[in-house]
A and B are shown apart, each in its own frame.
Chain A
């Protein structure tokens, strides 16, 4: 009951802060669309090639967009002292942290997954493939956010190294990328996406169990 109340309040607080920043919230979305749209311009406009690289490009763009949104995950709260106030209330710290993670995904990963059909159309994907793309992003981006949050929390003690964050986060995200893009490709080749999506969901569950704990530990070390 206590935990649930603070979980909800935490989501509300973070969403309010993210939406008030305005430009920041849009930036992730625009960046995602922009990166994915650059490839057809730079390459030979052959429908066959576009169809083949579409899922991969969409997923790499999503990964980069999530990466772009990660530095602000804990940095501002650490700087103005609100993070230490949350940490001090040990009984509700976990729900508050989970709320922050969910709020961050709601403002970055979710809208990004929802506009993915535009990318799909751009690359000439079939309707079933587009559905699988959106589905795989919906399952995969929370995992990316969770993995990115670990890197962002570790990065707090390193102070201002955005490059370090990328180095920490990108290798961790490779499995998500492989199964996410693989799901769409499997659908395209007629194998069905279920196996890939199941593995992706298993990955999400694994990160959901481990990442909050890792984040919490990293934040405690960073504030020391």
Chain B
């Protein structure tokens, strides 16, 4: 993959498409700094050069890759509590009411005491959406306090696989809310996500 170039304004999202193996996931991983580029590209945020998105202190990065990061041995609620704490970098203790509200909004509140291992593929995706829901709420709470609050930036790798129609719509709504808040998103996807504003398109060619 070379000669890739794109830019995003606040409130815009980029849909990353392309055949299997064209490097969508690799691009997302490299952007957030988990893997290295062969040739370091010129990345900029608000005019300032940055090394990667995770290292940029003005962004609230949320990456959802192939491996979801959920533990089979923890319950749904415990998983979300840990991940939410991590996403907010321990800024404050996580309130259980918020967690249950997030699970409820994504339709898996009744599964909260079940071990993650017994959830279906769709329910697992819904747990990942609860994480996004909490991210939106944290962002809203953070914005109230100060004007220079960090902007949310989501890097999602095929967030709608295994989701039913209603789940895909919910995903679209979460994404719209993020953009309304002035956040950014880069989403690798093969299908159109319903109820989202038009995306900028970046199509990666296969080899």
A and B from one complex: yes
A-side residues, CB < 8 A to B, are 1-6, 9, 13, 16-17, 20-21, 76, 79-82, 84-92, 95-96, 223-224
Select one of B36, B54, B71, B86 contacting A80, CB under 8 A. Answer: B71
26 pairs, A vs B, C-beta closer than 8 Å: A2-B91, A3-B90, A5-B93, A6-B85, A6-B86, A6-B89, A9-B85, A13-B74, A13-B78, A13-B82, A76-B71, A80-B70, A80-B71, A81-B68, A81-B69, A82-B71, A84-B34, A84-B69, A88-B33, A91-B89, A92-B89, A92-B90, A95-B90, A96-B86, A224-B35, A224-B36
If A17-B73, A21-B73 touch, whether A89 touches B87 (CB-CB below 8 Å) is: yes
Known A2-B90, A17-B71, A85-B69; further 12 A-B contacts with Cβ < 8 A: A6-B89, A9-B85, A13-B78, A16-B73, A17-B73, A20-B73, A80-B72, A81-B65, A82-B69, A84-B67, A89-B54, A223-B34
Query: Which residues of B (25-84) have their CB < 8 Å from a CB of A?
Result: 32-36, 54-55, 61, 63, 65-74, 78, 82-83
The distance from the CB of B68 to the nearest CB of chain A, in whole angstroms, is: 6
Q: Which residues of A contact B91 (CB under 8 A)?
A: 2
| Interface residues of B, dominant DSSP | loop
Q: Which residues of A contact B65 (CB under 8 A)?
A: 81, 84
Q: How far does the alpha carbon of A95 sit from the alpha carbon of B85 in the complex, in Å?
A: 13
Q: Contact at B34–A17, with CB atoms within 8 Å?
A: no
Q: How far does the alpha carbon of A224 sit from the alpha carbon of B36 in the complex, in Å?
A: 7
B-side residues, CB < 8 A to A, are 32-36, 54-55, 61, 63, 65-74, 78, 82-83, 85-87, 89-91, 93
Q: How far does the alpha carbon of A84 sit from the alpha carbon of B179 in the complex, in Å?
A: 25
Q: How far does the alpha carbon of A82 sit from the alpha carbon of B66 in the complex, in Å?
A: 11
The distance from the CB of B117 to the nearest CB of chain A, in whole angstroms, is: 11
Q: How far does the alpha carbon of A4 sit from the alpha carbon of B92 in the complex, in Å?
A: 11
Please list the 7 inter-chain residue pairs (A to B) with the smallest Cβ-Cβ separation, ordered nearest first.
A81-B67, A6-B90, A5-B90, A2-B90, A85-B69, A81-B69, A82-B69
B57: nearest chain-A partner, CB-CB: A91
Among A13, A21, A79, A91, the one with the most B-chain Cβ atoms within 10 Å of its Cβ is: A13
A18: nearest chain-B partner, CB-CB: B73
Q: How far does the alpha carbon of A4 sit from the alpha carbon of B72 in the complex, in Å?
A: 26
Q: How far does the alpha carbon of A224 sit from the alpha carbon of B33 in the complex, in Å?
A: 9
Select one of B34, B74, B85, B93 contacting A87, CB under 8 A. Answer: B34
Q: Which residues of B contact A95 (CB under 8 A)?
A: 90
Q: How far does the alpha carbon of A6 sit from the alpha carbon of B81 in the complex, in Å?
A: 11
A87: nearest chain-B partner, CB-CB: B34
The distance from the CB of B87 to the nearest CB of chain A, in whole angstroms, is: 7
Q: Contact at A89–B89, with CB atoms within 8 Å?
A: yes
Q: Contact at A88–B90, with CB atoms within 8 Å?
A: no
A79: nearest chain-B partner, CB-CB: B67
Q: Which residues of B contact A17 (CB under 8 A)?
A: 71, 73-74
Q: Which residues of B contact A80 (CB under 8 A)?
A: 67-72
The distance from the CB of B37 to the nearest CB of chain A, in whole angstroms, is: 11
Q: How far does the alpha carbon of A92 sit from the alpha carbon of B36 in the complex, in Å?
A: 21
The distance from the CB of B32 to the nearest CB of chain A, in whole angstroms, is: 6
Q: Contact at B85–A5, with CB atoms within 8 Å?
A: yes
Q: Which residues of B contact A90 (CB under 8 A)?
A: 54-55
Q: How far does the alpha carbon of A21 sit from the alpha carbon of B85 in the complex, in Å?
A: 23
The distance from the CB of A20 to the nearest CB of chain B, in whole angstroms, is: 5
The distance from the CB of B46 to the nearest CB of chain A, in whole angstroms, is: 19
Q: Contact at A86–B36, with CB atoms within 8 Å?
A: no
The distance from the CB of B121 to the nearest CB of chain A, in whole angstroms, is: 15
Q: Contact at A81–B66, with CB atoms within 8 Å?
A: yes
Q: Which residues of B contact A21 (CB under 8 A)?
A: 73
Q: Contact at B89–A86, with CB atoms within 8 Å?
A: no
A76: nearest chain-B partner, CB-CB: B71
Q: Contact at B74–A16, with CB atoms within 8 Å?
A: yes
Q: Which residues of B contact A16 (CB under 8 A)?
A: 73-74, 78
Q: Which residues of B contact A20 (CB under 8 A)?
A: 73
Q: Which residues of A contact B69 (CB under 8 A)?
A: 80-82, 84-85
Q: Contact at B83–A9, with CB atoms within 8 Å?
A: no
Q: How far does the alpha carbon of A89 sit from the alpha carbon of B66 in the complex, in Å?
A: 18
